[in-house]
A and B are shown apart, each in its own frame.
Chain A
Amino acid sequence: MSDDLKILDDVANSEYKWGFVSNIESDNAPKGLNEDIVRFISAKKNEPEWLLEYRLKAFRHWQTMTEPVWPNVTYPKVDFQDIIYYSAPKPKVQLDSLDDLDPEIKATFDKLGISLEEQKRLANVAVDAVIDSVSVKTTFRETLLEKGIIFSSFSEAVHEHPELVKKYLGSVVPYTDNFYAALNAAVFSDGSFCYIPKGVRCPMELSTYFRINSAGTGQFERTLIIADEGSYVSYLEGCTAPMRDENQLHAAVVEIVSHAEAQVKYSTVQNWYPGDKDGKGGIFNFVTKRGICLGYKSKISWTQVETGSAVTWKYPSVILKGDNSVGEFYSVAVTNNMQQADTGTKMIHIGKNTSSTIISKGISGGRSHNSYRGLVKINKSADNARNFSQCDSLLLGDQCGAHTFPYLEVSNKTAKVEHEATTSKVGEDQIFYCNQRGISTEDAVGLIVNGYCKEVFNQLPMEFAVEAQKLLAISLEGSVG
């Protein structure tokens, strides 16, 4: 039987395949963080005074805060003075068209499998690619503009649509929210901005690709998505980083505003470098993602497939303010080797007849720890609120841990809240059954795990679902003889 465990252990061991470093010249800020650095970033980006003020306020607030210690993760203390807070690929010339893009950057995207050109022509996906701190290129922009859709880098939006940025920035995740949100508000470098006007259904999936390339940099992107009344958008986010021995910090903020009868679907496939088998290196992923359903019948749906990062701390949440609004959270979180994840969601019910669904699938292998942490809060005002939560944990091997921390706060008697949780192991009998049909143990584990995640993968757009399945297979790939 120990042989089986060994096989599972082998299967659970993965090699990170996105660990290349691109040789792109970059323009860095000096290490460390103080008001001058905040001003430096703001100046680099030619920001208006109000934004600098916002950053400085956030920075001053951040200085009064301490790192949260409640997550079920342990990691060496981050030295915030040992991080480069701004790193931009140095442009050789001003970019006028895609052809002027630095060939190295282009090659990086090709390795990532997101050739901008191909994306543009074939996939009908508009891509905003962020390397380190700066948004490199936004494709399809003009096509979208015809419909009045704004999809640009955050920095561009600051200059071109200051009224929108000013109105919504920090409206869902204020800089006072938490330690990392405050840090992000002070030093965020770039990210994506998206606005869908009233009644417009965005004709393509919008996509952002994030990559940390430079050594010793942190990535602090900021994404703001606004769906005006009756609009619809599906937004995809992918992340990778090269292999490095030191830990790198990623502290992003994503804010979504969904107005009455608008729908926002936000899908993430996160594959930051998880560190090596012994837990050396890897990304610390401390991210605040939150959306607000502002109006009647608005809807926000988060889908995430988390396979990377050394430490993940992430709770994509929905504030259900509008009556009859809907929040959804579908998650697959895979941890291997020494990875740790503390992830889940918060569903805050304020409006009447609001409903939320939480489907969380945790998969742990190696010596990793995988925690689900979720809060369902039904406010007094939320008559007839509904929540359904299902949190499943799958264990590969016997040295990993799965933990579930559901929190329920119900202040309205008409609420209906259901919570289901299961923990299972990939059964030896399931593997043997597959073996007996000619399927190797490695493929069997892949098959079983993919089946286990099906409910979540079904929520992803087609191309992304295929990618997620491949990623899962790769993360579970091992040296089974």
Chain B
Amino acid sequence: MLTIKDLKASVEEKQILNGLNFEVKPGEVHAIMGPNGSGKSTLASVLAGREEYEVTGGEVIFNGEDLLEMSPEDRARAGVFLAFQYPVEIPGVSNANFLKTAVNEVRKSKGLEALDSKQFLKIMQEKMKLVEMDKAMTQRSVNEGFSGGEKKRNEIFQMAMLEPSLAILDETDSGLDIDALRIVANGVNALRDGKRSFIVITHYQRLLDYIVPDFVHVLYKGRIVKSGTKELALELEEKGYDWIKEEVDATLNA
């Protein structure tokens, strides 16, 4: 589904990703962990096509297509979804209206007819349950005045509505209390269907208790320096990142 080869990217002339490789197959959940500044969010931004991030090398193939050649909206329409670390507020635009526009754009790109209000409402009501969202929230302006937890729930709700084939969760757990974390994780788990793939970027092992990954990767200095299963996350929780840093730095200096 997704193959990243030797990906290099910089922001404001500063190299952040230094030849990153990894592969995601359909239905897999990959967790990406790593110390601050290792390039986790940069990876998410590069995959989604944020303009400030300049790709300086490597390639990303998504379902046989060169992802890096596609515009951000085309990536979204092709099934790449990014749950933002800091969801953006759009005053005056209701959540429902925003999503209806988005859903119908995605449908249009697939040659499907636009949903009318009634059909849309029906689907929306189903998906709202996944993240225990109440109706009032769909009528409020996109993310405006939402609490941190509401914003993250809204991201997962949008994901449920847009039904992407690859979902990237950028520190979705940051700023969530334990109840919100559970709701968000339940929402994500409900969307695991054996075909949809996930890249879960997180600082903490805690989230991975709820969203159990197939693979865990450690990102450091813009590369994946260690990969394993969920036991690796537990080990990191226990020992921190220093031992990995030392290992890597020793190799680099050798």
Contacts and interface: CB of A to CB of B under 8 A. Distances in A.
Interface of A: 1, 3-4, 427-430, 432-441, 443, 447-448, 450-455
A438 B88 contact: no
B194 interface: no
A438 B162 contact: yes
Interface of B: 48-52, 71-73, 75-77, 81-82, 84, 87-93, 97-99, 101-102, 105-106, 109, 141, 158, 162
A1 B52 contact: yes
A283 to B, nearest CB: 29
Given A433-B88, A435-B76, A440-B73, A428 B93 contact: no
Contacts of B106: 438
Given A438-B73, A438-B109, A439-B73, A432 B51 contact: yes
B105 A443 contact: yes
- Counting from the closest, the 8 A-B pairs by CB-CB distance are A451-B92, A451-B93, A454-B92, A435-B72, A437-B102, A433-B88, A438-B76, A438-B105
Nearest to B86: A429
B51 A451 contact: no
B98 A447 contact: yes
B6 to A, nearest CB: 25
Given A432-B51, A438-B102, A451 B91 contact: yes
A173 B204 CA distance: 69
A427 B102 CA distance: 18
Given A432-B48, A436-B49, A436-B82, 20 more contacts: A430-B88, A430-B89, A432-B88, A433-B84, A433-B90, A434-B102, A435-B49, A436-B73, A436-B84, A437-B102, A437-B158, A438-B73, A438-B109, A440-B73, A440-B105, A443-B101, A447-B93, A447-B97, A448-B93, A454-B92
A434 B102 CA distance: 8
A302 B21 CA distance: 61
Nearest to A428: B51
A443 B98 CA distance: 11
Contact of A436 (B48, B52, B92): B48
B141 A437 contact: no
A146 B73 CA distance: 57
B76 A436 contact: yes
B239 to A, nearest CB: 35
A434 B231 CA distance: 37
A440 B98 CA distance: 12
Contacts of B71: 435
